[in-house]
Amino acid sequence: MRGLSIIILVLLLYTPSFAGGGLVLKNAWIREAPPGAVNLAGYGEFKNVGDETVTITSVSSPYFEKVSLHATSMHEGMMRMKSLPSLKLKPGELVSFKPGGKHLMLNKPKQRIRSGLMLPIAFKLLSGKTVIVKFEVRK
């Protein structure tokens, strides 16, 4: 029984997917950047599996000075990036964070962010709950 508990704990800690407060995040990953980079990006698929709207109001991580929600869009032939104050997901809604679209902007890493690391990122919800997700750093 103890062995099974350890296996379950390890799987929970190292699976880049989490559900909490109606929010599920799958395929959570961060693109590895070269040494000295001051901005990185995080991606994944957010889904609201609950019966009520879920609103992400802020994002943080002990590995970065600042984490924010961002969107990239085309405006008059130019790619633009803007900060999103929050992200609302209606029941059943799926929002993909991917290169060239919505993403997490991870500013000023506090250490070298290398491929293979699993970094915790906390999502504060309007409900007052905080959902912590481990993001895998990939090349």
Return the minimum-mean-pLDDT range out of 2-11, 45-54, 95-104. 2-11
Do 116 and 137 meet the contact criterion of CB atoms below 8 Å apart? yes
Continuous H helices in 15-71:
none
Alpha-carbon span 125 to 23, nearest angstrom? 9
Report residue 73's pLDDT band, with 50, 70 and 90 as the boundaries: confident
Query: What was the pLDDT predicted at 82?
Result: 94
Query: What was the pLDDT predicted at 10?
Result: 40
Residues 6+ apart with CB under 8 A from 61: 67, 106, 119, 120, 121, 122
Query: What was the pLDDT predicted at 15?
Result: 44
CATH (one of 2.60.40.1890, 1.10.10.1100, 3.40.50.300, 1.10.3720.10) for 2-138: 2.60.40.1890
